[in-house]
């Protein structure tokens, strides 16, 4: 017997907008919908971004692309907003569609199509979170921060969260674990310099300093996730007595025996520079070149030759 279908918000905008097309249905060809579907036209300046917007990064290049599309095609999918209280300044607060709202301003639009929803702040935030998740617009940390806010401010359990956003409980739990990463490591993840696989492996270390040390090694050495997992296992095994940092020390992979091509290159460099040169192969396409010198005068001569060759 098949499992009962979840009552989740993850059914998309068709669940939020009366008359919206089902997923996969052809998009309408005009920017303004029929009045009977609940859409109205609202001045751009009357709409305000939500202070709880889960998404914090907006790519300028992609906004420009969307603005160019809006200039020619109009806004195909209306924004979703809710009425703001007069004491908050009136107008409308965005629930979903901040990228479209920002791009519309770049395109020079003065009015945009929108659907006004009468929802509580909790439901508004859920809608915004789910829309971004469905569009895959959130980076992993924005997703984790959104879940955390629902837990802290609205009292959701992880099980309730998984039901509400249509995700497996393990997915939600793994996302929340990312918030244990030190701020510097979260920055590297948000910039895309670390992958989710790297981040999950780093969480196997308990000390923030060890996570930061290994994160820097990952970026500098372009280490694979498998290599990082191996280093984390090594660090955990040597972690008693404060040796976790020492266990990470061999993270720079040990050079292997030089290949024929490496030996040939070393000989040619030795003849050219007049001093011993070693070519150390670390990975398939990575390595190091070691140039030996025996006095500061010789070092100065080598530097002069290398920097002005």
Residue 134 pLDDT: 57
Local structure of residue 18 (DSSP, 8 states): T
The two tokens of residue 236 are 């955990």
Tens-digit pLDDT profile for the chain (309 aa)?
Answer: 444 444 444 444 344 333 444 444 443 333 333 333 468 899 999 998 877 666 666 778 878 888 888 888 888 888 888 888 787 788 898 888 888 888 899 999 999 999 898 887 777 777 777 666 655 566 788 888 878 877 877 788 888 888 877 778 888 888 888 989 999 998 888 888 898 889 989 999 988 999 999 999 999 888 999 999 999 988 888 754 444 455 555 444 444 567 788 888 888 888 888 888 888 876 666 778 888 877 777 777 777 777 765
Whether residue 173 contacts residue 202, with contact meaning beta carbons closer than 8 Å, is answered with no
SS3 at position 80 = strand
Catalytic residue among 93, 98, 131, 142: 98
98 is catalytic: yes
Radius of gyration, alpha carbons of the chain: 28
CATH class of this structure's domain 13-138: alpha beta
Q: pLDDT digits over 34-70, tens only?
A: 333 468 899 999 998 877 666 666 778 878 888 888 8
Helix (H) or strand (E) holding 40: strand 39-43
- Going from N- to C-terminal start, the domains of the chain cover 13-138, 181-251, 260-307
């Amino acid at each position: 017997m098949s499992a009962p279908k979840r009552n989740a918000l993850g059914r998309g905008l068709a669940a939020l907008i009366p008359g919206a097309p089902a997923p996969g249905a052809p998009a309408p060809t005009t920017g303004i919908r029929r009045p009977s579907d609940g859409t109205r036209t609202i001045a751009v300046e009357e709409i305000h971004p939500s202070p709880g917007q889960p998404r914090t990064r907006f790519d300028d290049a992609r906004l420009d692309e969307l603005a160019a599309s809006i200039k020619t095609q109009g806004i195909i999918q209306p924004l979703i907003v809710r009425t703001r209280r007069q004491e908050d300044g009136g107008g409308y607060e965005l629930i979903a569609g901040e990228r479209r709202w920002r791009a519309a301003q770049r395109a020079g639009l003065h009015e945009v199509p929108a659907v006004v929803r009468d929802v509580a702040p909790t439901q508004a935030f859920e809608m915004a979170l789910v829309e971004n998740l469905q569009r895959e617009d959130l980076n992993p940390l924005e997703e984790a921060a959104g879940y955390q806010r629902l837990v802290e401010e609205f009292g959701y359990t992880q099980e309730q969260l998984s039901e509400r956003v249509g995700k497996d409980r393990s997915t939600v739990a793994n996302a929340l674990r990312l918030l244990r990463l030190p701020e510097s490591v979260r920055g590297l993840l948000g910039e895309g310099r670390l992958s989710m696989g790297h981040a999950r492996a780093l969480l196997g270390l308990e000390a923030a300093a060890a996570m930061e040390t290994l994160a820097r090694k990952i970026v500098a050495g372009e280490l694979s996730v498998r290599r990082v997992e191996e280093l984390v296992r090594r660090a955990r095994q040597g972690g008693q007595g404060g040796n976790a940092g020492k266990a990470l020390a061999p993270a720079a992979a040990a050079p292997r025996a030089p290949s024929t091509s490496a030996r040939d290159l070393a000989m040619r460099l030795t003849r050219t520079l007049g001093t011993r040169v070693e070519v150390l192969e670390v990975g398939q396409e990575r390595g190091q070149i070691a140039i030996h010198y025996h006095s500061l005068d010789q070092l100065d001569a080598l530097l002069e030759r290398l920097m002005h060759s």
